[in-house]
Structure 1
Amino acid sequence: MNEHETDRLLGIRTAGIQDWGLRSIHDNRYEATPYEGLEALVEEYRISKTSSVVDFGCGKGRTAFYINHRTGTFVTGVEMDGQLYLDALENRELYMIKKKNRLRGSVTFIRSRAEEYRVNPIDDVFYFFNPFSVSLFARVLSNILESMEECPRTVDLILYYPTLDYLSHLENHSPFVHVKDVLVPELAEKNPNERFSIWRFDRSK
């Protein structure tokens, strides 16, 4: 199925790219993760039903809805842009209608800058599709690590289309360890960046 067909299956509207124009140099444009990528991710990286996933720069909510649909876990989308946040809320209403009484877990959206998001002690999977500069990424990572100090647990980071800046920061300035890459079939054959890079830190030990 193409992205419009999968959108219809979920009852949502998430296609398209949104460029910010003249905005902060720290914030990148909106572009949803391709569905074929999300399918590969949930097939190779098992997300527990008891996990709490946070999608930073969630846009219209595609990743949040797809992960909830496939795994039944709890997903929180964090979005700073007012219009995209409203689009995500509208999609949530449509998604709830489509799922009726079959909704497992939950999908929630918060309008906030990523670095101001208060990390919940149960949050244990964090998703990034290059939503902002590496300096903001470092601040978000610091918040996650602070939460892990207060509530020791294992945390995974999932980076789609990972940039060298993000990877370098994780490797050289964080306790997270690279676990695996999940390639997006066909797309990765033409572009090796079409992959998910998964990193983990077990603070419970």
Structure 2
Amino acid sequence: MKEDKNETRWDKLLRIRTMGRDDSNADQYRYPYEPTPYSVLERLANTGLIRKGNTLLDYGCGKGRVDFFLSYQTRCQSVGIEYDERIYEKAVENRETAAASGRVSFELANAENFVVSEKVDCIYFFNPFSLEILQKVISRILDSYYEKPRTIQMFFYYPSDEYISYLMTVGELMFTDEIDCRDLFPGNDPRERILIFELPVDE
């Protein structure tokens, strides 16, 4: 119950509607919309890893919760991309009322075709799609990284074993830390964590 209260409280404070799951357009490649719990986002915001000067890219942003919350809490710029038109429209509607709307934008796009802006230096994933799509997405991110070398931090919430095994094989990626979130929920689920990978820049 406490978690539900927190969810409602933040939605209200941010003046958005992001609760509930939606799997109407999910398939084997693109997974259902399910928002990251606010308690997890609070923990991420409190690390200080995302700051005012950062630009966050949120893959499979759904109704925009991650974008609104993190730009509100950390004052970063945030770009959410969503392929499902109906859910994307909900994010755009939220932007009309949201507390942090000035720093948030959304794009209707397929992740694997999306060209990553050179401003992006933080990226968030909550299992939005299959491993096949993730591989294409990482290669797009690497293109952007090589065009303009900069430190890029990637945050993977509730990562699958498949994701982790693959990420560990990407030569450029460095595993830097994890944020343990098991204590936030019952059941001691080992996947309740955010893994942090970095594309570093040689000084």
TM class by shorter chain equals: over 0.9
Distance 1:183 1:128, change over 3 A: same
Shift of residue 45, structure 1, vs aligned partner: 4.3
Residue range with higher mean Cα deviation, 9-18 or 187-196: 187-196
How far, CA to CA, are the matches of 1:15 and 1:178 in structure 2? 31
The one-letter code matched in structure 2 to 1:122 is K
Judge conservation of contact 2:158–2:194 (CA < 8 Å) in 1.
yes
Judge conservation of contact 1:149–1:203 (CA < 8 Å) in 2.
no
Shift of residue 173, structure 1, vs aligned partner: 2.8
**Match for residue 43 of structure 2 among 40, 43, 46:** 40
Aligned to 1:61: 64
The one-letter code matched in structure 2 to 1:15 is M
The one-letter code matched in structure 2 to 1:91 is N
Counterpart check, 1:177 vs 2:144? no
Judge conservation of contact 2:33–2:62 (CA < 8 Å) in 1.
yes
Judge conservation of contact 1:26–1:136 (CA < 8 Å) in 2.
yes
How far, CA to CA, are the matches of 1:113 and 1:66 in structure 2? 23
For the aligned residues, what is the CA RMSD? 1.7
**Match for residue 8 of structure 2 among 4, 12, 16:** 4
**Match for residue 143 of structure 2 among 146, 160, 166:** 146
How far, CA to CA, are the matches of 2:166 and 2:69 in structure 1? 28
Shift of residue 104, structure 1, vs aligned partner: 8.5
Counterpart check, 1:133 vs 2:133? no
Aligned to 1:165: 162
Q: How many equivalent pairs are there?
A: 198
Distance 1:11 1:47, change over 3 A: same
* Structure 2 spans left out of the alignment, 5+ residues: none
How far, CA to CA, are the matches of 2:101 and 2:27 in structure 1? 37
Percent identity between matched residues is 36
How far, CA to CA, are the matches of 1:104 and 1:130 in structure 2? 25
SS in 1 for 2:169: helix
Distance 1:46 1:105, change over 3 A: farther
Moved segments of 4+, more than 4 Å: none
Judge conservation of contact 1:76–1:109 (CA < 8 Å) in 2.
yes
* Structure 1 spans left out of the alignment, 5+ residues: none
